[in-house]
Each structure stands twice: as structure tokens, then as C-alpha cells.
Amino acid sequence: MFEQRRMHPVAGFLSFLKQLKELLLPFIFIFFVGPGDDFGKYYFLGAAAVILLMLVFGILHWYRYTYRIENGELRIEYGVFIRKKRFIPIERIQTIDVSAGIIQRIFGLVKLQVETAGGGMQAEAVLTAIKEEEANQLRELLSRSKNHQVEETETLHTRVTYQITSKELLVLASTSGGIGIVISGVLAFLSQFAEYLPFEKLYNTIEKYVSLSILFYIIVLVALFLLIAWFVGILIMTLRYANFTVVKRDDELFISRGLIEKKQTTIPLTRIQAIRIGENLIRQPLGYATVYIESAGGSLDKGEDFSTVLFPLVKKAAINDLLGHFVPDYQMQEVENYVPSKAKWRYMVRGMLPFLIFVPAIVTLSYVFSSWGYLALVLLPIGALFGHSRYKVAGWKMEDNQLTLQFRFFSKITVLHHKKRIQSLDKKQSFLQKKKELGSVKTFIKSTIAGKGFEVKDLHESDCWIIWEWYTNRSKKITEDITVE
């Protein structure tokens, strides 16, 4: 590891595939809109030339990409035309992710990603194709492990302390937002190629055999589409979270998941900034929740709002037992201090506000489509209902060095803060809040390049001051602890 190394040659092919994926839609679009019959011949010749150049570029990218560990740093040199160097101090490394896609698994390889605090939207360093034993050795060195052991010895001392059950996996997949991902993907595809799809021919074929109204066709097609999207969403989430396990060894957590693409994340306990517990509208009545780790570092590849899933689905009553075993510095506490009743209407108005913006459009629809347009006004009480549900859950609790904040957007969110992990705390009060003796509290933690914040609005003003005093006494408390030690 202390000598300059290259990734496996498969990395060049993976780089080529990544470029090809990014240009796939432009290729298809240009093919369909290309003018004239002669365009096809030149199109395929041009596309073949571009693909060949991308393949050559991928090979050069692999050849020019080297890495090594030197003087307590991960040193990377890369660049085809312009040589670039990136030195990452080991102490800045927050999380290490190891994954294996289909191509990596065929060749017995893995992908290793290194993330640092404030590293940006992408991982700080990505080794797309290296041998698994090399990844394990590199991870041990980057994790600053003092006692390096061979893999067989580690296996004997490693205990799987949490593994998702088949029932939990099914409930997780059935109640997730996977259907939204499928629908958004299909709609994005239709927006690009709708004019080339034979919708009219399909409708005429159906009408030939079944004589029903167009409204019925629309209802059946929408219901069928939603059902298929739901099943596809279940399949996606099942493949993503199959074999989900959490292993705790010393002061590190090893989280692995995935059936087709296997991923493993290493998180030192000292890098955990907060614990977030989410309960969506379906899981909350069932008593289930998802537990996330907010760590100092993240990238878009995580796919969970820069957070790491600790427990994808767990009974709410079992959360404290699991937290006590994995992250004993945090305990889930029932909120005791809720926003005052005089804040109810503020929450309800905020819930209706997005729909109030469309009131002129609603009036226009009512005028054009007669009574049908007034159905859009149903959105206003729905918004008020959402606002009221946010009012009912918003609150806080403080005990020793832990601050618990609770709020809702769509899902109910509970955030567990340790005092020393809060980077900053804002106490805000607008003119209208001041008239009602209300205020808002927002905490910030070290996460992505811009950090991450959690806010509870319209607390009683005295509660805001209590939280503020608790936080501002942090430096005094830390000084006292150092003196005692």
C-alpha cells in the first residue's frame, strides 16, 4: 500500500460504461430527431467513432490513475491530459464504503469509496475496481486500526449483532417510497419519447374488443400502472436491502447490504454526528421506523439524503435496545415539550400555503369546467390537515447531554443530538412570532459540504431560551470535564 498502485484493468471498462450511460439519452434523442434518410448512415459512423474514443479515454483514465498511502495520507494522482494530485489526510476520513456491482463480482473485485467531512456532493476518492483483499487491507489502514489481523482471525471475533428478517424486508419494501422512484423514472422517459409511443394504436386495439368509455380506460390504465410500479418498487427495495447486517467491532460499525450489488460501509463511532429516526405515513401506524446515522461526510451515492441507514425497518419499541448496543451515547426519548396551542393556526396556514398559491388557477378551472373545477378546492383542507399533523408532533426534550428534536414534513422525524456534536444552534424569532411569544430553534451538524440542519418552528419563547442556555453552556462543561480528567 505504500507503493504506487493501479486499479484492476476492469476499471477502464467501467469508466467507459459510465461515459456511455451519460450519453445514452442524447444518442437516442439525436437518432430520432435526425433529419433525412442519409442521416442514419452518418449517425452510426459518428456514434461508433465517439464510442471508440470513449473506450480509449476509459483505458487512459485507468492507466493514469494511481494511488498509495504515504506520510499518513491517501495520495491519488489522475488525469488523462492534465495531471492532478489529491492528498487526503487519514484523520479527515469519515466513512469508507465498499460495494460490488455485477461486473465487479464477475471478476472478484469491489469498489471502494472514501468520504470526508465537507467533501462535497461526491465521494472524495473512488477506486472502482480493486481486489477484495486489497480493499480490506486498505480499509484497515485508512481506519487507523492498531492491531492488524488476518481476515480469518477477524471472522472468529466478529459477531453479527443485527440482521434484517424476511418479514421486516417484505414490510420495508411494501411501505417504502420505491413506487415514487419508478413513477418518476417512467414519467421522465415519457416526457422525452411520448410522441414516439403508439398510444393511439393501443387505444384503438383495446376499443376494438371492449366498448367502454375513455374515462374508464384512463382509470384502468392508471390503476394498472400504479400496481405495476408498486411491485417494481418492492423488487428494487428488496434487492437493495437484502442481507442487511450490522456488525460492531471495537469502536466501528460495519454495515452491509444488497443482493445484486453488495455494499459495505465502515463508520467509526466517533464520527457519528446525530441519529435520525424516520416514520413515514404508512409505517407510523404499524409501529415501524427507520433509523439513520448522520455522519461527518456523505455523497449522493448513498441515496438516503447523505445519511447511512443503520436499521432499515425496526419496531419503534425496540429502538432503544438496539441503540444501546450499537451507539450507547444516544437514546430515543419521548418528547415532553410540544409547541403551544397558539401555534396551531400557523402550522395549518403553512400547510395550506402551497395550495393557496394556486387559488387563481382553481377559480379559472371552476369557471371553465363548471362544478368539476371546485373539486380542486379539496386541496385546501388537505393542506390544513397536513399542517395540523405537523403541529401535533413538533416538540423537544432535553436530558443531560442529549437534545431530542421532533417534527414532521410528510414523515415524522426524531433527531437525537449529542451536545458536543452540534456545530451551531440558531434561535430565531420573526415579527409575527414575537407578537405571540413564539420562536424557532435550528441545529446544525457536520455532514455534507454545506452541513445539515434540523428545525422545530413556533416553540414557546421560553423553551427556545432553555435550549439556548443548555447549548451555550457547552464550552464551560467541556472545560470542566478536561480539568477533572
Torsion angles phi and psi, residue 233, rounded to 5: -60, -40
Kindly give the confidence (pLDDT) of every residue in the chain, 485 residues in length, as a single tens digit, with 9 standing for 90 and above: 667 889 999 999 998 888 888 887 777 767 666 655 565 667 778 888 888 999 999 999 999 999 988 888 889 998 888 888 888 888 778 778 888 888 888 888 999 988 876 555 677 888 999 998 888 888 877 765 434 443 444 444 456 589 998 888 888 888 876 666 556 565 555 555 555 555 555 556 655 555 556 656 667 777 777 788 788 888 888 888 998 999 988 788 889 898 888 888 888 888 899 999 999 988 899 999 999 999 876 555 555 556 889 999 999 999 999 999 899 889 998 898 999 999 999 999 998 888 777 666 666 666 665 555 566 667 788 889 999 999 999 999 999 899 999 999 889 999 999 999 999 999 999 999 999 999 999 999 987 656 789 999 999 999 999 999 999 886 544 434 433 33
Torsion angles phi and psi, residue 87, rounded to 5: -110, 120
Report the amino acid identity of residue 76. I
Q: Give the span between the Cα atoms of 223 and 320, in whole angstroms.
A: 40
Cell 489502514 sits at which residue?
141
Task: Give buried/exposed letters for 362-386 (b at 16+ CB in 10 A, else e).
Answer: beebbeeeeeebeebeebbeebbeb
Cell 440482521 sits at which residue?
163
Contact 140, 158 (CB under 8 A): no
Q: Give the span between the Cα atoms of 185 and 115, in whole angstroms.
A: 28
For residue 164, give the 3-state DSSP assignment: coil
Q: Give the span between the Cα atoms of 202 and 18, in whole angstroms.
A: 35
- β-sheet bridge partners, residue 425: 443
Q: Give the span between the Cα atoms of 186 and 347, in whole angstroms.
A: 34
Q: Is the pTM of this model over 0.85?
A: no
